[in-house]
Amino acid sequence: MIYHWQALVGAIIGAMSPFLLWWLADSLRKRKEYYDNLYYLERLLVDQANTILEAERTIRSFKDTKISELIENIQKNNQNSFSLDYAFFPLFSTMSLGDDIHRISTKSGYIDNKISKLYQISRDIPYIINDVGRQFASMIQLNKDIVLNQKNPPQLQKDQYIDNLKGYKLMLEEYLLDKNFPIYFKVIFQAREAINELRRIGLWKWRLKFDPRYHFFKSKKQYLKAQESLYENIENYFKKNVEEKLLEIENLKAKNLSKT
């Protein structure tokens, strides 16, 4: 004999079954989409690192080879002749991260912050490279105008030209090669290491590992202090791995230089 409460429970379960199945399917879909996005971001960072590494190699080769050869050619010119020696800034492309990257949430404030920073740097880098390219073209044109107008004696013109080229080489070294590119590489590897760890251990373990909201504190003051140092603590956790990746980049650049 089936009691009324048994029939009621059966009816409730029967009514809820489609909803439960839909909820389970939707949860699995969202979970897959979430980890697919993490993988997409990781591959995007690898591609961006390779792009910037190639740009760095191209600009360094231009600085150490083409500009150095240009200076040597000017120095070899007859002291009574003007110098119209020139070179061209190398052509290559650097891709900015797409706007759609902002629609991807890793559910980690630290990683989302790094991705936003990378997005901004990726938009700045092409402008910076175009700017240094225009500066080189302007310098070549300025020298040409000086020669055509013959405002300075030949030797003075060549000395000024060489000084400008040396100053340009120094600018490339200090502004791009020693400053902007290294900063970009560091942020890329900080984000990549964090994303890989998040993919490896999962979101909940990530939160238990880093988020102060999932830790016990004896006082509110300790909790607030932990919140303030959250990003710093995460960066310290990945610091060794990031430094190893940056060292690999330096070794790779040294290897490429030894081949030239």
Query: 51-108: per-residue pLDDT in tens?
Result: 999 999 999 999 999 999 999 999 988 888 889 898 999 988 787 888 888 888 899 9
pLDDT grade, residue 166 (50/70/90)? very high
Q: What is the pLDDT of residues 104-151, one digit of tens each?
A: 889 999 999 999 999 999 999 999 999 999 999 999 999 999 888 887
Q: Tell me which DSSP letter residue 107 carries.
A: S
Predicted TM-score (pTM) of the model is: 0.82
Contact 199, 90 (CB under 8 A): no
Residue 109: the pLDDT is 92
| Spatial distance between the Cα atoms of 115 and 102, rounded to a whole number of angstroms | 8
Q: What is the pLDDT of residues 183-196, one digit of tens each?
A: 999 999 999 999 99
| Spatial distance between the Cα atoms of 240 and 103, rounded to a whole number of angstroms | 30
Contact 97, 118 (CB under 8 A): yes
Q: Does the structure show a pLDDT above 70 at 17?
A: no
Q: What are phi and psi of 152, to 5 degrees?
A: -120, 155
Q: What is the dihedral of CA 217, 218, 222, 226, to 10 degrees?
A: -10
pLDDT grade, residue 206 (50/70/90)? very high
Mean pLDDT in the chain? 86
Residue 207: the pLDDT is 92
